[in-house]
Amino acid sequence: MEPSMKAPLVRLLCAAALLSIFPAKAAEVSVAVAANFTAPMQRIAAEFERDTGHKVQLAFGATGKFYAQIRNGAPFELFLAADDATPMKLEQEGATVAGSRFTYAIGKLVLWSPKPGLVDGKGEVLKRGAFAHLSIANPKTAPYGAAAMDVLRKLGLADTLAAKLVTGENIAQAHQFVASGNAELGFVALSQVWADGRLTSGSAWLVPGDLHEPIRQDAVILAAGRDKPAARALADYLRGAKAVAIIKSHGYGR
């Protein structure tokens, strides 16, 4: 080959290699994410951006509030809820891309305190009642809050502990109330206090699944994400091996 032809050929091969790594048109996807999934989603989004070239805009909050925002025209393209009922409802209302809903994680509820030894392994601390405040997420808008109330009712403690409840707007705020000391203990998502196979601090009781409705967390591509390659790419990525490993490392089931 003539030397004069080598340089253009090298540039062409480099360009082809780059196109094989990143999509021809890198795009951005706007995602509404349940507050309990904050830590794993931040990690997944970073990996997704590196692997695909797409950009991710994340908003975290209560599933019920996101539902209202989506129905009022919020331009989210992908929704990761804290339950399966809300994405199904949006699907039935025609606000999603048909056939795009799937379960990305199974949530686990935990009674947690940053104080070592306060919460025992069977949750008997709730029956003793030797605390001033118990934090939960708003059961009307946050599935983890609804699950917490299921537990208290099953244990016959809903009325007994009603005066001690401190309600956060979402599970992130419920966790913050406990972490800051405004409540001695609270029902939070295991993912908020669990990383790499261990409890990050304090003491906890992993609530048995038969004490509350399953926390099946579904994702769905919203109408605004129709024909948006980045939305479809992220939905697919969430089901891939790298994302699944991150999800499991934060204490979720699959």
Over residues 131-165, the pLDDT tens digits come to 999 999 999 988 899 999 999 999 999 999 999 99
164 and 231 part of one domain: no
40 and 131 part of one domain: no
Q: How many CA atoms lie within 13 A of 26 on its CB side?
A: 14
101 and 219 part of one domain: yes
Edge-to-edge strands of the sheet including 109-113? 165-168, 134-137, 185-189, 109-113, 203-206
170 and 241 part of one domain: no
68 and 159 part of one domain: no
> Is residue 128 included in any domain, yes or no?
yes
80 and 200 part of one domain: no
172 and 132 part of one domain: yes
Q: Kindly tell me the burial class for residue 140, based on how many C-beta atoms sit within 10 Å of its own C-beta (0-12, 13-18, 19 or more).
A: exposed
101 and 121 part of one domain: no
CATH number at residue 26: 3.40.190.10
20 and 47 part of one domain: yes
pTM: 0.79
Which token pair is 196? 């790499």
Over residues 156-165, the pLDDT tens digits come to 999 999 999 9
Residue span of the structural domain in which 147 resides: 109-206
Provide the number of structural domains found in the chain.
Answer: 2
180 and 93 part of one domain: no
Residues of the chain with pLDDT under 70: 1-25
> Is residue 63 included in any domain, yes or no?
yes
> Is residue 244 included in any domain, yes or no?
yes
> Is residue 254 included in any domain, yes or no?
no
